[in-house]
Structure 1
Amino acid sequence: MVFYNKMIKVCGTLLIVSILFGCSSGDNFDPKTAEIVGEEKAELTLPPNVPPPIDRDHATKLVVNMEVTEEEKRLADGVTYTMWTFGGEVPGKFIRAREGDMIEFHLQNHPDNKLPHNIDLHAVNGPGGGAESTFTAPGRETVFTFRALNPGLYVYHCATAPVGMHIANGMYGLILIEPAEGLSEVDQEYYVMQSEFYTEGDYGERGLQPFDMDRAIKEDPEYVVFNGSVGSTTGDNAITSNPGDDVRLFVGNGGPNLTSSFHVIGEIFDRVHYEGGDRIQKNVQTTSVPAGGSAIVEFETEVPGDYILVDHAIFRAFNKGALATLSVSGEEDENIYTGQQLEQVYQPEGGAVQTIPQEKREEPAAQTIEERIERGKSVYSSVCQSCHMKDGSGIEGAFPPVAKSDYLNENPDRGISAIVHGLSGEITVNGETYDGVMPRQNLTNEEVANVTTYLLNSFDNEGGRVTPEDVERVREEGPIE
C-alpha cells in the first residue's frame, strides 16, 4: 500500500508526488516517536464487516481485547467442525489501528477451552510477533504492548504447537495499520479471508468432522472457503454495493497451505495493493495472495448484478467452496454492459447465423427404463455433473441440488424445461433460493428423456419415467415458470 507521499528533489526544489493519498502532516511522520494522545478501546468486527476508517490525526493508546473460544460451528450444510476462534468466528475479528499507535493487546483464553493458545500478529516488530508474550492457558489472560511501526494489511494467527493444526482449525484474521495520513475514501469496505479445512470425511459428508493431519500434510483440503464456511458470504449474506460505488476489499489468506488466485468474476481491479504493502498494480484481473499474506483490491462497480468472488484455481471454487457474492443493485447502464442481445442457432456450414430449428442428432431409442437410466447416467456425467456434483448435492449458493429435489419431484416437466429452454431467475429448491442462469443444453429429445429419467430414479428422488414425447411436448409448450 502506498502509505507515504514521496519527496523527490528536482533542480533544488521539492516535487511532492502523491500516488494514493493527498498531502498531509504524515510526510514527516515518525511512528517510533509519535506522541501518544489519549486512550481508546479498539472496535473489532466479524467478517465481512470492517471497523470504520480512523478519523483522528494523532497516535493513541489502542486497547485490543481478543477472546479465544473453541466451538462446534457450521462448515457446510449438514457439516460441522470444532473451530478454534479469535472472537467467536472464523476468520477472527478485524482489527483497525493507525501508524504510530501504541497497541495494548489482551488475549483471553475462555475457561471452557481445552488447549492453550497464543497470537502471532504479522504487524508486530518483536519476538514471535507477540506469540512469546501471549502463551495463554484456558481461563487465563495475557497482555503485551507493541508500537505500530509499518502501515499495511497483515495476517494474525495462533502459533502454538502444532502451529499448522491451530491455523487449520480456524485461528487467523487480519489487522490493518492505516497510514498516518489515512486511506483514500471509498463507498464500501469489506473483509474477505480464504482458508482451508482438512476433514476426515469427504466434501459434503454430513456430521461433525474431525481434523485429518495426513490430508493437511499432503496439502489436500476437502474444503477451501471464504470467511470460514461454504456459502458464508452468499445469498442473504452477500456483500453489497451500488453502481458507481468504489469498493475496497481487504483480502487475507489464512492458509495454512495454499496460495489463493483471488478473482471477482465480471470485475477488473482498478488498484491492487499486492501482498498488503505499498506497491500498487493497476488494472488487474487476478491477484495472488500467499498463505499468511494479504492484498487490498479496489474497484468501481459499474452495473448491477451478482459478481462471484472465487479462488481462480477454479475447482476450489466450484468443488470445494471458495465462492462469495457481491450483489450490486441499481440502474442498468447499457453503455457499459447490455446483457444478452441475441441467442439463436449457429450453422457454420451456411456461412451465417440462422434462426432455424435446432439440429437434430440421431439417438437410438431406449427399449427399457433400465436402459434409459443407464444412458441418462452417461449424459449426467458428461453434461451435468460439473455443476450439480457427482452425488447430486449441487454447490451451495450457486447450483441447486438434484438430490432429494422437491423442485424436480413435484413436477418433472420443470427438469425437462430447464434442460431444453434454459433457466434464469429465482427458484426455490428444498427451501433454499437460487438466483442464477442455466443455459439451454444442446441435447436430443432422447437424451433429455434419458437424463431426466436417471435423475428421477437416482439421488433418493421419488422415481418416474420421461419419454421423448414428453420432452417434445415441453419444447412446444415453452419454458415452465
Structure 2
Amino acid sequence: MFETTRRRALQALGIGGAATVAGCSAEAPTAAETETQRQQVEGTPTTTTDQVAADPTDIPGPIDRDQPETHEITLAMEEVTAEIEPGVTFDYMTFDGQVPGPMIRVRQGDTVDLTVENPSENALPHNVDLHAVYGTGGGSVATTAAPGQENAMRFKATYPGAFIYHCAVPNLDMHISAGMFGMILVEPAGGLPEVDRELYFGQHEVYTDGEVGQQGKHSFDIESMKNENPTYVLLNGEKYAWAAANRGPIEVNQGERVRVFMVDGGPNYSSNFHPIGNVWKRAYRDGGVPENGDFEAYADKNIQTMKVPPGSCMIGEMDTPVPERIKLVDHALSRVARRGMLAEVDVLGDEREELYDPDAHGTSQEGPQYA
C-alpha cells in the first residue's frame, strides 16, 4: 500500500533539501499555496470524525522495568474534518486522528523503531520531528512521506524528560496549528515517582476565517496566523473539550495525587498553565526531570502557574484533599472566557470543613469561576 523511497517523498513535496523539509527554506511553498493545494485535492479530507479531542486518561502506564527495550511504534497522519464546537467544523491534521497525538512513553536507553504512514487519501506530505531525538530535524527528514507513502527511522532515547513531537514539513506552523503535535515521555532509568492518576493535555491555537461560534465550515486563515491572532485557543483540540460543557469533567478521587502532562503545540502562544482551586505541588518546568532520581530536590514546589513555551512541555502534580471542581486553564484568561481553553477535573469525596468550608455562614453561591 505504501511506498517507502525518500526521494519520491521529496519529489512529491517539490523540494530537495533538509532545511526545506524542516520548514526553514524560503523556497518552500507558501502557507497560502499549501492551503490551495489541500483544497484542490478532490474529496480532501475524506474522513469525518465525531471527535478529535484526545482522551486525557488514555495514556500508557508508568514503566516498571530495569532493562531497556525496543519498541515498534507507528504514527498515522490523518487529515479529518470534525467540530471545534457544535455546528462549527474544521479540517484538522492529526497524528492517529486525535489532538494532541498519542503519548509515546519509553524509558531512557530504549530503542524506538518509528514508522509514519501518510494515507493515500491525504492531500499533503507530513513527517515528525521529535525533540527527544539526536538527528537531523529530530527525525523529520527521515520520516517525510507524501500521500500514499510511509517512512521509518530508528533512534535511541538517551536523555529523559517530556518532549514535544510535531510535523515539520514546510509551513510547519500551519500543520501544528491544525493539530499535528503530541508528547514523547522518556522516563529516567529509575522511573518517575508513583502517583495515583495521570492525565494528558495539549494546548494549541487554531486560525480560521470565522469568528468563535460562527456556524458552518471554517477554513484555515493564513493572515490570522501571520498576525498571531487565533480564532480559538484549545486544550485537546476542541472548545472546552474536557469541561462539563463538552466531554467532561474528568473524575478523580479525593486524596489522590494527580500527575498532569501538558504539551504546548503553539505554534505561537506560550501557556500560563494554572489549576484553579489548586496548585502544582511538584512541578517540572519544560518537562525536565532528574537523571539521579532526586525528584524532591529537583522539582519546583507549590507553583501556582507554569509558563509553558510553544514547543515545550510541563509535568505538574496536584494533591486533592477536598472535593471540588478544578479548572485547568491558561491564565491569559480571555483565552478561557472567549476562545475555548478549559478542562475540568472533579474531585469526588467528603467535605473537610477544616480545610475548606464553602457554606461557613450559610450563604454559599458556588458556581463556575474563571479566576
Structure 1 length as normaliser, TM-score?
Answer: 0.62
Please list every run of 5 or more consecutive structure 1 residues that lacks an aligned counterpart in the other structure.
1-44, 345-421, 425-435, 439-481
2:264 maps to 1:256: no
Task: State the Cα distance separating 1:130 from its structure 2 match.
Answer: 0.5
The answer to whether 1:47 aligns with 2:58 is no
Instruction: State the shift of 1:227 in Å.
Output: 0.4
Aligned with 2:125: secondary structure?
A: coil
* Aligned mate of 1:238, from 241, 249, 258: 249
The residue type equivalent to 2:252 in the other structure is S
> What is the CA deviation profile of residues 354-379 of structure 1, one whole-angstrom value per residue up to 9, with x for unaligned ones?
xxxxxxxxxxxxxxxxxxxxxxxxxx
Higher helix share: 1
Structure 2 counterpart SS, 1:245: coil
**Structure 2 Cα separation of the partners of residues 163 and 112 of structure 1:** 20
**Cα distance change on mapping 1:146 and 1:304 into 2, 3 Å:** same
Following superposition, the deviation at residue 423 of structure 1 comes to 7.1
Amino acid across the alignment from 2:55: P
Check whether the contact 1:238–1:324 (CA below 8 A) recurs between aligned residues.
Answer: yes
Corresponding residue number in structure 1 for 2:162: 153
Checking the alignment, whether the CA contact within 8 Å between 1:46 and 1:94 is kept in structure 2 is: no
How far 1:269 moved relative to its partner? 1.1
Using a 3 Å threshold, how does the CA distance of structure 1 residues 437 and 224 change in structure 2: closer, same or farther? closer
The partner residue of 1:97 within 86, 106, 119 is: 106
Query: Aligned partners of 2:346 and 2:140: how far apart in 1?
Result: 39
**Structure 1 residues 225, 437: CA separation in 2 closer, same or farther (over 3 Å shift)?**
closer
**Offset of residue 239 of structure 1:** 2.0
Q: Please tell me whether residue 305 in structure 1 is matched to residue 324 in structure 2.
A: yes
1:78, 1:207 within 8 Å by CA — same for their partners in 2?
yes
Gaps of 5+ in 2: 1-52, 290-297
Whether 2:96 is the aligned partner of 1:107: answer no
2:147 maps to: 138
* TM-score of the two chains, using structure 2 as the length reference: 0.80
Aligned length: 306
Partner amino acid, structure 2, of 1:192: F
Alignment of 1:207-246 (within 5 A): 207-235=216-244, 236-246=247-257
User: How far did 1:237 drift?
Assistant: 2.7
Q: Is the 8 A contact 1:190 1:239 kept in 2?
A: no
Query: In the alignment, which residue of structure 2 is the partner of 1:294?
Result: 313
* Contact 2:264-2:308 within 8 A present in 1 as well: yes
Structure 1 segment 3-402 matched on structure 2, within 5 A: 46-49=54-57, 50-235=59-244, 236-278=247-289, 279-342=298-361
* Structure with bigger gyration radius: 1
Do the aligned partners of 1:154 and 1:293 also contact (CA within 8 Å) in 2? yes
AA of the residue aligned to 2:333: I
Which residue of structure 2 lines up, in the alignment, with residue 369 of structure 1?
Answer: none
**1:335 shift after superposition:** 1.5
Deviations along 1:203-224, one digit per CA (max 9) or x if unpaired, are 1111110011111111111100
Q: Distance in 1 between matches of 2:172 and 2:282?
A: 33
Please tell me the residue identity of whatever aligns with 2:124.
L
Once residues 54 and 174 of structure 2 are traced to their aligned partners in structure 1, the CA distance between those partners, rounded to angstroms, is 22
**Higher relative contact order structure (alpha carbons within 8 Å, sequence separation ≥ 6):** 2
Q: How far is the alpha carbon of 1:437 from its aligned partner?
A: 5.0
Amino acid across the alignment from 1:314: L
CA contact (8 A) 1:276 1:296 kept: yes
- Look up the equivalent residue of 1:47 and give its one-letter code: D
Q: Which amino acid aligns with 2:93?
A: W
- Partners of 1:263 and 1:98 in 2: how far apart? 28
Instruction: For residue 340 of structure 1, report the CA deviation from its aligned partner.
Output: 2.8
CA distance in 2, matches of 1:147, 1:327: 38
Instruction: Report percent identity of matched pairs.
Output: 42
Per-residue CA shift, 1:227-259, capped at 9, x if unaligned? 001121112532221111000000110000000
RMSD: 1.6
Q: Is the 8 A contact 2:126 2:169 kept in 1?
A: yes
Q: Measured at CA, do residues 178 and 437 of structure 1 come closer, stay the same or move farther in structure 2, by a change above 3 Å?
A: closer
C-alpha distance in 1 between matches for 2:215 and 2:94: 22
Distance 1:124 1:313 in 2: 32
Q: How far apart in 2 are the matches of 1:91 and 1:437?
A: 26
Q: Which amino acid aligns with 2:339?
A: K
Shift of 1:286: 0.5
CA contact 2:271–2:309 (8 Å) conserved in 1:
yes
Q: C-alpha displacement at 1:331, in angstroms?
A: 1.0
Alpha-carbon shift at residue 315 of structure 1 (Å): 0.6
Distance 1:153 1:59 in 2: 18
What SS does structure 2 have at the residue aligned with 1:264? strand
Aligned-partner Cα distance in 2 for 1:197–1:68: 18
CA distance in 2, matches of 1:302, 1:266: 11
Distance between the aligned counterparts of 1:115 and 1:312, measured in 2?
35
Q: What amino acid is aligned across from residue 262 of structure 1 in structure 2?
A: F
Distance 2:54 2:115 in 1: 18
Could you tell me whether the CA contact under 8 Å between 1:246 and 1:301 is conserved in 2?
A: yes
